[in-house]
Structure 1
Amino acid sequence: MAVARLVAAPFPLATCRLRRPRPALPPAHAGPGPRPQVLVLAPPAATAARRAVPVRAAPEDEAVVAGDGGGGDAEAVAARAARKQSERRTYLVAAVMSSLGITSMAAAAVYYRFAWQMEGGGEIPVTEMVGTFALSVGAAVGMEFWARWAHRALWHASLWHMHQSHHRPRDGPFELNDVFAIVNAVPAMSLLAYGFFNRGLVPGLCFGAGLGITLFGMAYMFVHDGLVHRRFPVGPIENVPYFRRVAAAHQIHHMDKFQGVPYGLFLGPKELKEVGGTEELEKEIKKRIRRREALDAIQ
């Protein structure tokens, strides 16, 4: 029986046979002449894993503050600053015009959506109004969770070939990633159109959902494109503590320190807290404050 157990359990014996003394490290170089070089090779699997990770450049605002790093003459720096200013002005005009147009059309649509139902002494559609308001708020909040999921599962996966334009220095006022804003506008416009031209509770709910998506898109544009990436000036909202935390959290997403977290925008600080990134968030907030003060001093 003892022999059988030894034969059936060869692991300790194999361990003893394979265990060899570690090679001693080379002694410290004490004599004259160059110090010998030691070459350390990484395992092939680790090397392959590192190569599989896509290279992502620093975000736009980091590049603007840090400069080109190449030394460059004054004329090149001035030309680059003028080009950036022109790009921001172009995007600002597009953002303001689209926002004013969408806001005015949405306000007019809300008014006429219920006013024409009350023509001729009709009753006030209270149920539809409440449903429209509730779905507006619900859709705006729900879009944050949809954007978080789509950002992680789609934009950083199968749609990375489009989204990577947002993680690289931008050449011009627009980037390929802006297409996603148009994609999100299609269902919003469809819901608004169906809800506007039809009566009843369901059309009222659809109308509210379209309004909520539209409101989220406008808020996302001003906070993400304006505040975080400085594609246009946003004024005093930069000094609001909550928006400052949101901007810093999204900056950490571009640093890729927590495997891309946070993927959401308005709840980004909460995502970082869940993965232990609160300390890093506070550091980034202080860094942004110092950078803002430095820019104000220059201007």
Structure 2
Amino acid sequence: MEGFTWLIHKYVMHGFLWSLHKDHHDHSNDPPLEKNDYFFVIFAIPAIALMYYGTVNNFNAYFYIGLGVTFYGMAYFFVHDIFIHQRIKVLKNTKNPYLLAIRRAHKQHHKHVSKEMGECFGFLWVPVKYFKMYFNKQKM
């Protein structure tokens, strides 16, 4: 899923559906819900359809693909919306190097307010340089 996420984020969200994703990068007006939040529906509909089709056919691979998309969406909600963007204040002062690396990479992604010149399009995998920043601090 991480590879698909990177491709979709870079070429769809920062591509032809930038109109929905743009407000996620523009922090001049932080409403409780953004147009970007509609992506959960965009991804939930095919996931539900895949799970339904998979159950009609004796739990074939389509069910498990839909289930994987659903679990990945749940992880996205907890990590991205709750942990990174602190929509619910939890783990705000974590010292965990992996979580700090994810948060830092996401900040680097949001440094760019236009759809061009972006970086760090992944979700759970981040470039090694961000891990090194926090793992080296742990050794000191």
Match of 1:226 in 2: 82
Q: 1:99-248 alignment to 2 at 5 Å?
A: 143-169=1-27, 170-199=29-58, 203-235=59-91, 238-248=94-104
CA-atom RMSD in angstroms: 2.5
Give, in angstroms, the shift of residue 241 of structure 1: 2.4
Contact 2:86 2:92 in 1 (8 A): no
Contact 1:222 1:234 in 2 (8 A): no
TM-score, normalised via structure 1 length: 0.40
Q: CA–CA distance in 1 between the matches of 2:60 and 2:90? A: 33
Contact 1:225 1:231 in 2 (8 A): yes
Unaligned runs of 5+ in 1: 1-142, 287-299
Q: CA–CA distance in 1 between the matches of 2:94 and 2:46? A: 31
Partner secondary structure for residue 151 of structure 1 = helix
Q: CA–CA distance in 2 between the matches of 1:237 and 1:219? A: 20
Unaligned runs of 5+ in 2: none
Match of 1:249 in 2: 105
Contact 2:51 2:67 in 1 (8 A): yes
Larger radius of gyration: 1
TM-score, normalised via structure 2 length: 0.80
Q: Say if 2:140 is the partner of 1:282.
A: no
Contact 1:188 1:210 in 2 (8 A): yes
Contact 1:167 1:254 in 2 (8 A): yes
Give, in angstroms, the shift of residue 181 of structure 1: 1.3
User: Do the aligned partners of residues 237 and 216 (structure 1) sit closer, same or farther apart at CA in structure 2, a change above 3 Å counting?
Assistant: farther
User: Of the two structures, which has the highest relative contact order with CA contacts closer than 8 Å and spacing of 6 or more?
Assistant: 2
Partner secondary structure for residue 60 of structure 2 = helix
Count of matched residue positions in the alignment of Structure 1 and Structure 2: 130
Contact 1:163 1:177 in 2 (8 A): yes
Give, in angstroms, the shift of residue 156 of structure 1: 1.4
Contact 1:152 1:263 in 2 (8 A): yes
Q: CA–CA distance in 1 between the matches of 2:31 and 2:111? A: 22
